[in-house]
Amino acid sequence: MKRIAIFASGTGSNARKIVEHFSSHDDVAVSLIVSNKSKAKVLEMAQSHGIKRLIIDRPYFYESEEIVSLLKEKKIDLIVLAGFLWLVPKYLVQAFPNRIVNIHPALLPKFGGKGMYGMNVHRAVKEAGEKESGLTIHFVNENYDEGGYIFKAACQINDSDSPEEIAAKILKMEHKYFPKVVERVLRNGEKISS
Ligand code: GRF
């Protein structure tokens, strides 16, 4: 059995897609959903699927390393960041080498880094007059939106597209690809490297 922990700060539409994807798999389970926001919608989704939840605060995440023992106790194989806005601390990256993945709604290394989240990304893409954008799924290191790339998918941007339309286009692609790529990382184990 392979076990996934999803970290998310917001709506959790990607988290939901991953949960739904693996609900028909006997050998993979989403065992835990971690959030830094006690009112995040993703926690409601976790509850409705009977998935254990953990709400974290800054001292717990940045001043203790307790989450590592918890994740190990729960035999978590892979941590999936799906709209998780806090920087992952070094101790956690080191405890799960090549075992933390993130999805970013742009073609990294463009439009990544601190402050590049949510609509900020799509507004910046629009302002730069980009002809394409897309998504990047990558391993996580201790810097925002860095770490080896695992998968990218691009989409065309028309001059008439608003940042909201770009966001919607990319979110749809995220839902299509993210669960499959997570499955690939889980099944290929150590063979995938950054
Ligand atoms: C996604 O666009 C993802 O790329 C980014 O955060 C967003 C999360 O959306 N990291 P949702 O909460 O899964 O709807």
Nearest to 192 by CA among 98, 101, 112, 107: 98
* Cα angle, residue 136 at apex, residues 78 and 34 outer, rounded to 5°: 35
For ligand 1, pick from 87, 101, 171 the residue to mutate: most ligand atoms within 8 Å of CB. Answer: 171
Model confidence pLDDT, tens digit, residues 4-29 = 999 999 999 999 999 999 999 999 99
Helix %, strand %, coil % of the chain (to 5): 40, 20, 40
β 100-104/132-139 pair status: antiparallel
193 pLDDT higher than 50: no
Mean of per-residue pLDDT scores for the chain: 95
pLDDT of residue 55: 98
Q: For the stretch 4-25, what's the b/e string if a residue is b when 16 or more beta carbons lie within 10 angstroms of its beta carbon?
A: bbbbbbbebbbbbbbbebbeee
Domains of the chain: 1-96 (3.40.50.170), 103-194 (3.40.50.170)
Kindly state the DSSP code that residue 61 receives in the 8-state scheme.
Answer: I
Measured CA to CA, the distance from residue 117 to residue 87 in angstroms comes to 12
Distance between CA atoms of residues 54 and 37, nearest Å: 10
Task: Return the best residue to mutate from 30, 103, 119, 178 for the ligand 1 pocket (most ligand atoms within 8 A of CB).
Answer: 103
Cα(6) to ligand 1 centroid in Å equals 12
* pLDDT reading at 158 higher than 80: yes
Active centre residues (catalytic): 104
Nearest residue (CA) to ligand 1, atom 5: 83
Q: How confident is the model at residue 188 (pLDDT cuts 50, 70, 90)?
A: confident
The whole-model pTM stands at 0.95
pLDDT band at 189 (very low <50, low <70, confident <90, very high): low
